[in-house]
Structure 1
């Protein structure tokens, strides 16, 4: 069964966005993530920000990248729920870590945080409904 057939067969809440909507949201968020995370890593590399500030940004990238293979490759809903919770936690952690240095980066994460909050609730609901 293809990943799309598998996903379509899952018991999902009525408010689940269409895959095309989810894709559009990520097309908006990825440039924000690229710009802001890149800026943080650049400033850390130049020793203009302490290196521990980059830790939540790095963990977030790893967890964000891991979600699709976990969800659609492994088709492991509980592990995907844990992964997206890590994404959410590290966004909040990153916002707090960068705030004293570059508040605009923390503020720029708000759309990402809003979307991942929705996606986290969705993932936990799907996991619960299909467990």
Structure 2
């Protein structure tokens, strides 16, 4: 279990780091400061704390899921898509200021994580709660991106 956890921690935090690097100045950019943001946009520090918590929970979830799933090819495919969407959203939104494409990507990411949550629920049962922070955060992030799309 511990080796799987370490592998998934490395994978998840690497993806998070790559996305952050590709974002440029990200949330501290002049562009982001100037756009209309949703009234429920959390303070900047919440994003970092949320993502650390999410990736730890997601890693634990995956460490439990990996040995119990029969179709590893499906799981790997879902994870690759999830990583690609997670990494891609940052530069699309923050570096290239493409709010509409960012919305499409984050909706896709939310759907993938939601699919993982519900598809594997029967295998992990209550341990699936570990994926809820990620799914809930994506619902919030999607609403923030949607607001930016509608108001900018």
TM-score band, normalised by shorter chain: 0.7 to 0.9
Q: Retained in 1: the 8 A contact 2:64–2:124? A: no
Q: Distance in 2 between matches of 1:109 and 1:77?
A: 26
Taking only aligned residues, the RMSD between alpha carbons, in angstroms, comes to: 2.0
| Structure 2: runs of 5+ lacking an equivalent | 1-24
Q: Which residue of 2 aligns with 1:72?
A: 94
Q: Which residue of 2 aligns with 1:83?
A: 105
Q: Retained in 2: the 8 A contact 1:64–1:87? A: yes
| Structure 1: runs of 5+ lacking an equivalent | none
Q: Distance in 1 between matches of 2:75 and 2:127?
A: 12
Q: Which residue of 2 aligns with 1:49?
A: 70
TM-aligned CA deviation for residue 109 of structure 1: 0.9
Larger relative CO (CA 8 A, sep 6+): 1 or 2?
2
* CA shift in 2, pair 1:66/1:98, >3 Å: same
Give the TM-score of the pair, scaled to structure 1. Answer: 0.82
Q: Does 1:27 align with 2:52?
A: yes
Structure 1 residue ranges, 4+ long, deviating more than 4 angstroms after superposition:
none
* CA shift in 2, pair 1:57/1:107, >3 Å: farther
TM-aligned CA deviation for residue 38 of structure 1: 4.7
Q: Which residue of 2 aligns with 1:58?
A: 80
Give the TM-score of the pair, scaled to structure 2. Answer: 0.72
SS in 2 for 1:14: coil
